[in-house]
Structure 1
Amino acid sequence: PVKILTSLMTLPLLLPWDRFSSWLHCICVVGFDLELGQAVEKTSICYLSFPDSNSGCLGDTQFCFRFRQAAGSKSSLGCFLDHFDRDAPVCLKRDQGYYYGYVYFRQVRDKTLKRGYFQKSLVLISKLPYVTFFHSLLKLIAPEYFEKQEPFLEAACNDIDRWPTPCPGKILTLPIMGVVMKVTRFFFPFLCKIDSLVSIVLPTVHEVDLFRCFHPVFFHIQMLWELVLLSEALVVMAPSPAESSDTVLALVSCISPLRYCSDFRPYFTIHDSEFKEYTTRTQAPPSVILGVTNPFFAKTLQHWPHIIRIGDMKQAGEMAKQMKVKKLKNLKTLDSKPGVYTAYKPFLNKDEDIIKQLQKGVQQKRPSAAQNAILRRYFLELTQSFIIPLERYVASLMPLQKSISPWKSPPQLRPFNQEEFMKTLEKAGPQLTSRLKGDWIGLYRQFLRSPNFDGWFRNRRKEMMQKLEALHLEALCEEDLQLRIQKHTEVETVDLVLKLKEKLVSTALILWAIKKEFSQK
């Protein structure tokens, strides 16, 4: 193991395009062909890269989409991203089975073209969920690309290939076409120092403006938090892909630091490969959040239990009107009034304080960034109040350190017992950190049946198992073999040596696999 570790420290330099691949999977240019429609090799990407015809997006529009990774395919430089994932917060971890597409779409009048319009999209495909970062990057390179075409794009790609790989805790200098972004913290907030070389400041790499996204329906933000927490099937119907994708991303992020473990599609079209799967009426709607703009979905998804209708997003300085939850039967077209259409009854009592605080901010013309910070903090505290009792109970499933013996296999974690957990809520429930009243027990019972709990518990269990293995290895390494030989039988001593050998071999194999992946590059 020592030799392998030493050799790993002297690995060869990265090959050309390896650094590019740690940020982006590829870049797509999607143009409109009068005979073929959107033209690009990847059919699903081509339809997702253009707004629906009814959206009427003139000028420049930015949005994002998300699609499944093909079975059996591998993303580039997985070893680098695996290392990053271990240290990154939940919100910055890559999606294992999905790609993100970040789109810069331009539609302008052009009489020289048969269609009368210039229509083209520049799309960045990446595993990384850095929506703000990649949208900012596109703002720099897309307009120039539309003017200067492929030579400019090639130069931009070469710049990206000189970037350091994403690395938490390090200062990253990212030059791109004469502009330098200096990243001093790779965790949020994503800060850029301004000096003589730096001309871009990004407050975050991944966060959307929650207040702007929820402004049309912010009287129902607490209910929306519950629906997302419970992985309920949700549809966002919006007039444009930009509003659709921002709202879906806002919904997913409102339960942070808890990871949303179900599928979500910021922009979904009738051409998606999952269209039939997600719109069938022969079974209950899947646990997914869809963002749509095509009026066809108003009828196709009318059987879904929860539908959010977003009108044109108002400026943060305008007051939203009080809206009641609407009945699903009243939703017939995308022209229906904005609101939340559902029969869902929240488990928790409505928090009027946050509504009043945000309304007061609108009246006093509080900056949008401040409103966003208030709302994000509210969601964070609400989620933490909910998850802390679970964290406390799961921690109690860990065996005591004194029970870890080098002469025995690592002890097992105790199984999660739902009723046992429920009993802990009486004295150590969310009431310790949250003022909200309501049926917390019912909310927990529903959550324990959701994909979000399953994903969260799998991750916590994996972390605790790794901790147990590390403690057991530590106990093995600290064991005085000479002393043990004197106190134990030969069989017990041999068993200890075999356990130690097994641990060292498994560690060596892991390191060897990493080295092999590097050498293949």
Structure 2
Amino acid sequence: MDALWGAAPRPPPPGLDSSESPGSTPTAARRLRRPPLPWARFSSWLECVCVVAFDLELGQALELVYPYDCRLTEKEKTSICYLSFPDSYSGCLGDTQFSFRMRQSGGQRSPRSMDDDDGYNKGAPVTLQRETAHLFGYVYFRQVKDSAVKRGYFQKSLVLVSRLPYVNLFQSLLNLIAPEYFEKLVPCLEAVCNEIDQWPPPVPGQTLNLPVMGVVIQVRIPSRVDKLESSPVKQFNQENLLPAPLVLSSVNELDLFRCFQPVLIHIQLLWELMLLGEPLVVMAPSPTISSEMVLALTSCLTPLKFCCDYRPYFTIHDSEFKEYTTRTQAPPNVVLGVTNPFFIKTLQHWPHILRIGELKMSGLYTSYKTYLHKDKTLIKRLLKGIQRKRPSEVQSALIRRHLLELTQSFIIPLEHYMASLMPLQRAVTPWKTPPQIRPFRQDDFLKTLEHAGPQLTCVLKGDWLGLYRRFFKSPNFDGWYRQRHREMTQKLEALHLEVICEANILTWVKDKSEVEIVDLVLKLREKLIQAQAHQLPVKEETLRRVALYIDTVIGSLPDDLQTVLRHP
């Protein structure tokens, strides 16, 4: 039995009701008894809201963090200060919106934060999962002349800090609250945060009504089981929502056509650079343009997750500045958005530089040669759309569909090969460790392409084999493979639990020693805890049957052992 399912059992997870046995599942009633932590709903959307102001003596200074008990490290506070102001070269007068992304620098998450036990990451597309090591900042910056200020200008940023890559939702939210905040200041911000704390949590697949400042934002949270195509949000409960809601077509999608219009002829080349995780710097005249372009580029691979680092807006004050600008080693796998002309010289050794926003200087500087031939039909359709003044959202939909089909054509053969590595269902038996997933052999995969390659779904010709070989060396392949392997392992574990439930456990117990039976109880308990902790794809009915099995097996033991096992 020792070799049955590996490691010794872990203690039950914290939060298990003391009246529950570790082998049982918490009922809905028991879960309801646990009061939500303060700001728990708020934290399912945002980490905090920050206000950054310009101080004549200190420079950028963090004026306010709300909720007040939010635990940001000093390093994070400094980063937020620098990343929340456009570079002085940008000359942004009036109101400016942009985004940034930064590493979380140690420190604990606030205890009130909802972790992924809420099931969000399990149901969300991999491209929209909550980040664990990074924070996003959504910025609304205002710079206007003000004679009452020594410097002659009012300069302040309102920043939403979140782990969710919901750029469209949070920038729309800022559009509503920032102008009001700049007029009414802190009381207005507290009221808004309290409203957000009443929002339902983001649940993949649900369309939510999110009230704030007399407006209802209506948005659908994408799910990983969605059909991948652009479709507008279906409005609902209209009769109960007065005035009419602000309906967002997406939580995260940008206007791809507007972003890519200066570089339409390079779209396919840029897609390959993103697929291969190549180092790329985007040089733009403002953080708005740099951040939108970086986010548009990293979204090119949907539904494949971009697994490299990316910084929609990066400054010379960033803690990674030396790491990214050193010439002693090759540039890291990162996409940087910059606005300071200083970077033109500092990053000139980077292999791919995209300059946008200045007509005379716009262009892509690279020696990269594409593996695939250019799709001239897409460019022709987009150029014809410009001539006919086709709406930007229609042009964006064309680009998005083209990139989606390109990515799917590339990834489907990998998915098929990966599925072939899964052990057969009949190989999973109740009293043995589940069989291993067979190793991914690159040469074996490449041999499958002749009959099951991308040419079945994509008209593009070119060196697909060369592209796959290069892809295997990228962080994107590593990230995709780890994710798929984890999902397949969980599926095997779930299948193992179901097979155990179908077995005649009492027959097995009859000729076993007490030690073996106790070992079985502990192993089953561990399996149950694992199913709950890792949210294995197991039906509630299966979990109930495993808990019943545990009780049945314990009931076959002497009273003293029963007491020990029921009250560990």
CA separation in 1, counterparts of 2:232 and 2:302?
16
Determine helix, strand or coil for the equivalent of 2:247: coil
Q: Which residue of structure 1 aligns with residue 302 of structure 2? A: 256
Determine helix, strand or coil for the equivalent of 2:37: coil
CA separation in 1, counterparts of 2:56 and 2:92?
18
CA separation in 2, counterparts of 1:170 and 1:297?
43
Give the unaligned 5+ runs of structure 1: 314-335, 515-521
CA separation in 1, counterparts of 2:158 and 2:519?
57
Does the aligned pair in 2 maintain the 1:190–1:205 contact within 8 Å?
Answer: no
CA separation in 2, counterparts of 1:17 and 1:481?
46
Matched, 1:137 2:161: no
CA separation in 2, counterparts of 1:147 and 1:104?
14
CA separation in 2, counterparts of 1:455 and 1:496?
40
CA separation in 1, counterparts of 2:25 and 2:386?
63
Q: Which residue of structure 2 aligns with residue 465 of structure 1? A: 489
Determine helix, strand or coil for the equivalent of 1:10: helix
Matched, 1:507 2:528: yes
Give the 5 Å matches for 1:475-514.
475-484=499-508, 490=512, 498-499=519-520, 501-508=522-529, 511=532
| Residue type of the alignment partner of 1:23 | W
Give the 5 Å matches for 1:166-315.
166-183=202-219, 186-187=222-223, 191=233, 192-193=235-236, 194-195=238-239, 196-197=241-242, 198-311=244-357
| Residue type of the alignment partner of 2:325 | T
Decide whether aligned partners of structure 1 residues 3 and 293 sit closer, same or farther in structure 2, where only a CA change above 3 A counts: closer
Matched, 1:434 2:458: yes
| Residue type of the alignment partner of 1:52 | D
Decide whether aligned partners of structure 1 residues 161 and 189 sit closer, same or farther in structure 2, where only a CA change above 3 A counts: farther
Equivalent in 436, 454, 474 of residue 412 of structure 1: 436
CA separation in 2, counterparts of 1:255 and 1:457?
15
CA separation in 2, counterparts of 1:266 and 1:167?
26
Determine helix, strand or coil for the equivalent of 1:392: helix
Decide whether aligned partners of structure 1 residues 190 and 358 sit closer, same or farther in structure 2, where only a CA change above 3 A counts: closer
Q: TM-score, normalised to structure 1's length?
A: 0.89
Does the aligned pair in 2 maintain the 1:106–1:120 contact within 8 Å?
Answer: yes
Matched, 1:32 2:54: yes
Does the aligned pair in 2 maintain the 1:255–1:379 contact within 8 Å?
Answer: yes
Equivalent in 11, 17, 20 of residue 39 of structure 2: 17
Decide whether aligned partners of structure 1 residues 494 and 16 sit closer, same or farther in structure 2, where only a CA change above 3 A counts: closer
Q: Which residue of structure 1 aligns with residue 381 of structure 2? A: 357
Q: TM-score, normalised to structure 2's length?
A: 0.82
CA separation in 2, counterparts of 1:408 and 1:311?
62
Determine helix, strand or coil for the equivalent of 2:34: coil
Q: CA deviation at 1:34?
A: 1.2
Does the aligned pair in 2 maintain the 1:394–1:416 contact within 8 Å?
Answer: yes
Does the aligned pair in 2 maintain the 1:404–1:410 contact within 8 Å?
Answer: yes
Determine helix, strand or coil for the equivalent of 1:268: coil
Decide whether aligned partners of structure 1 residues 358 and 81 sit closer, same or farther in structure 2, where only a CA change above 3 A counts: farther
Determine helix, strand or coil for the equivalent of 1:35: coil
Q: CA deviation at 1:80?
A: 4.6
Decide whether aligned partners of structure 1 residues 95 and 15 sit closer, same or farther in structure 2, where only a CA change above 3 A counts: closer
Does the aligned pair in 2 maintain the 1:406–1:496 contact within 8 Å?
Answer: no
Q: CA deviation at 1:6?
A: 5.3
| Residue type of the alignment partner of 1:264 | Y
Instruction: Show CA shifts across 1:287-313 (max 9, x none).
Output: 000000000000000000001001159
Decide whether aligned partners of structure 1 residues 177 and 447 sit closer, same or farther in structure 2, where only a CA change above 3 A counts: same
Determine helix, strand or coil for the equivalent of 1:173: strand
Q: CA deviation at 1:190?
A: 7.1
Decide whether aligned partners of structure 1 residues 115 and 227 sit closer, same or farther in structure 2, where only a CA change above 3 A counts: same
Q: Which residue of structure 1 aligns with residue 366 of structure 2? A: 342
Decide whether aligned partners of structure 1 residues 80 and 400 sit closer, same or farther in structure 2, where only a CA change above 3 A counts: closer
Equivalent in 49, 54, 60 of residue 89 of structure 2: 54
The 10-residue stretch of structure 1 (9-18 or 464-473) with the greater mean CA deviation from structure 2:
9-18
Does the aligned pair in 1 maintain the 2:127–2:306 contact within 8 Å?
Answer: no
Bigger RCO of structures 1 and 2 (CA < 8 A, at least 6 apart):
2
The 10-residue stretch of structure 1 (124-133 or 477-486) with the greater mean CA deviation from structure 2:
477-486
CA separation in 1, counterparts of 2:456 and 2:520?
45
CA separation in 1, counterparts of 2:531 and 2:508?
29
Q: CA deviation at 1:350?
A: 0.8
Instruction: Show CA shifts across 1:456-484 (max 9, x none).
Output: 00000000000001111111111013455
Backbone CA RMSD of aligned residues: 2.2
Give the 5 Å matches for 1:74-85.
74=109, 76-80=112-116, 83-85=119-121
Does the aligned pair in 2 maintain the 1:264–1:288 contact within 8 Å?
Answer: yes
CA separation in 1, counterparts of 2:103 and 2:453?
38
Does the aligned pair in 2 maintain the 1:80–1:165 contact within 8 Å?
Answer: no
The 10-residue stretch of structure 1 (83-92 or 383-392) with the greater mean CA deviation from structure 2:
83-92
Does the aligned pair in 1 maintain the 2:43–2:114 contact within 8 Å?
Answer: no
| Residue type of the alignment partner of 2:51 | V
Does the aligned pair in 1 maintain the 2:137–2:160 contact within 8 Å?
Answer: yes
Give the unaligned 5+ runs of structure 2: 1-22, 63-73, 224-229, 536-568
Give the 5 Å matches for 1:144-183.
144-183=180-219
The 10-residue stretch of structure 1 (475-484 or 229-238) with the greater mean CA deviation from structure 2:
475-484
Instruction: Show CA shifts across 1:357-380 (max 9, x none).
Output: 101111111100000000000000
CA separation in 1, counterparts of 2:440 and 2:348?
38
Matched, 1:392 2:424: no
Determine helix, strand or coil for the equivalent of 1:377: helix
Does the aligned pair in 2 maintain the 1:407–1:496 contact within 8 Å?
Answer: no
Instruction: Show CA shifts across 1:377-436 (max 9, x none).
Output: 000000000000000000000000011111211000100001000100111000000000
| Residue type of the alignment partner of 2:389 | K
| Residue type of the alignment partner of 1:38 | Q
Q: Which residue of structure 2 aligns with residue 377 of structure 1? A: 401
Q: Which residue of structure 2 aligns with residue 517 of structure 1? A: none
CA separation in 1, counterparts of 2:207 and 2:296?
28
| Residue type of the alignment partner of 2:46 | L
CA separation in 2, counterparts of 1:476 and 1:213?
53
Determine helix, strand or coil for the equivalent of 2:44: helix
Q: Which residue of structure 1 aligns with residue 106 of structure 2? A: 71
Decide whether aligned partners of structure 1 residues 405 and 512 sit closer, same or farther in structure 2, where only a CA change above 3 A counts: closer
CA separation in 1, counterparts of 2:501 and 2:534?
23
